[in-house]
Amino acid sequence: MKIGLYDVDSTIPNLALMKLSAFHKERGDSVEWFLPNMTIGEGGFDKVYASTVFKDVPDDDLSDHSNLDPTRMTIGGSGWNLEGRLPPEIHRRVPDYSIYGYKHSLGFTARGCRFNCKFCIVPQKEGRPKHENTIDEIWTQRDSDFVVLLDDDFFGGPQWAERVAELRQHNLKVCFSQGINIRIITEEQCAALASLRFTNLHDTRHQVYFAWDRFRDERLIDAGIQRVWAAGIKPWQMAFFVLIGFDTTEEQDLYRVTKIRKLGCDAFAMPHKKNDPYQSAFARWVNGRLKNVEWKDYRGNLKKEAVAAATPFDHPNLPM
């Protein structure tokens, strides 16, 4: 069989697609990437698997993804539905990293989360934290000493201490790609984190990710930062994902980003809706690291450009 894999929107190698590739290659099937203009059936692909991770379509309509045809494709991922799962015989496969040319290893030590945040799909999809894999099971690309963990709540995992011990035993670099919950991190967990060779997703900085999602959590964030610092982790080694546009104002979004930067940490804005003009612009300003440009000036220039680009018929306030 000729198998097509369609990665709709992953920002890192898609674990499910890599496991599907491994499964079909073991069966003797050929596996190639699928693009929307390719043929399914009648001399084209015999079967196509599509995976979409993000829910970013008008009105949050999960079925309204262009280029996805459930009548001709097997579609999964959090951006499509929250119930779909790989069959057990595929789920336990070692990922085929060769389809991405990826030389490191990634996976979950645990799935689920202790919290039930309204903006997050993890509790609904995964439930409470439960064990998934050991580091030895994830670290299959032994030529690399870098492991990317996809856990949504690493220290909520029932065996987090054992996983830390494994990382130290093998002296591995590790990226906690989904961030560590700094609101409730304990002194013991801070010490464990500080003992690791943590790094960012691209392995370019000795940095660990946290999150400041809710404005009202400021006191918890402050206390967590103090515990992390006390363990020896420096401000420049910390980066924060900042959720914007969910239940915060523009002023509250700017306050959090400004405070994080003043502390000496990095901030990454995470839009709740990428197609919202404000959220998209604010994220570009924050993530573009325009530290020498104030938000009010950046926002003002965007408005001027929009007016200049509009025709008299587009903009009712312009004179005819």
Q: pLDDT per residue over 21-44, tens digit each?
A: 999 999 999 999 998 878 787 778
Residue 294 within a domain = no
> Mean per-residue pLDDT for 102-118?
88
Task: State yes or no: pLDDT of 310 exceeds 50.
Answer: no
> Mean per-residue pLDDT for 119-146?
85
How high is the pLDDT of residue 314? Answer: 40
Task: State yes or no: pLDDT of 106 exceeds 80.
Answer: yes
Residue 73 within a domain = yes
Task: State yes or no: pLDDT of 64 exceeds 60.
Answer: no
pLDDT band of residue 318 (cuts 50, 70, 90) is very low
* Cβ-contact 233, 193 below 8 angstroms: yes
Residue spans of beta strands (DSSP E) within 11-142:
30-33, 47-51, 74-76, 105-107, 110-111, 130-131
Of the candidates 284, 226, 223, the one whose C-alpha atom is nearest the C-alpha of residue 257 is: 284
Residue 63 within a domain = yes
Q: Which two tokens stand for residue 261?
A: 């930067």
Q: Domain range spanning residue 75? A: 1-93
User: In this predicted model, what pLDDT tens digit does every residue of 175-206 receive, in sequence order?
Assistant: 999 999 999 999 999 999 999 999 999 999 99
Q: What percent of the chain has pLDDT over 90?
A: 67
> Mean per-residue pLDDT for 114-134?
75
How high is the pLDDT of residue 85? Answer: 78
Long-range Cβ contacts of 218-225 (<8 Å, 24+ apart): 220/182, 220/183, 220/184, 221/182, 221/183, 224/182, 224/183, 224/184, 224/185, 225/182, 225/263
Scored b (16 or more CB within 10 A) or e, 264-286 reads: ebbbbbbbebeeeeebebbbebb
Residue 85 within a domain = yes
Pair type for strands 110-111 and 130-131: antiparallel
Residue 1 within a domain = yes
Q: pTM of the full predicted structure?
A: 0.86
How high is the pLDDT of residue 21? Answer: 97
Q: Name residue, tokens 């961030």.
A: 179
How high is the pLDDT of residue 63? Answer: 45
User: In this predicted model, what pLDDT tens digit does every residue of 233-281 receive, in sequence order?
Assistant: 999 999 999 999 999 999 999 999 999 999 999 999 999 998 899 999 9
How high is the pLDDT of residue 319? Answer: 31
Residue 131 within a domain = no
How many residues would you count in the chain?
320
Q: How many domains does the chain have?
A: 1
Residue 179 within a domain = no
Residue 47 within a domain = yes
> Mean per-residue pLDDT for 129-144?
94
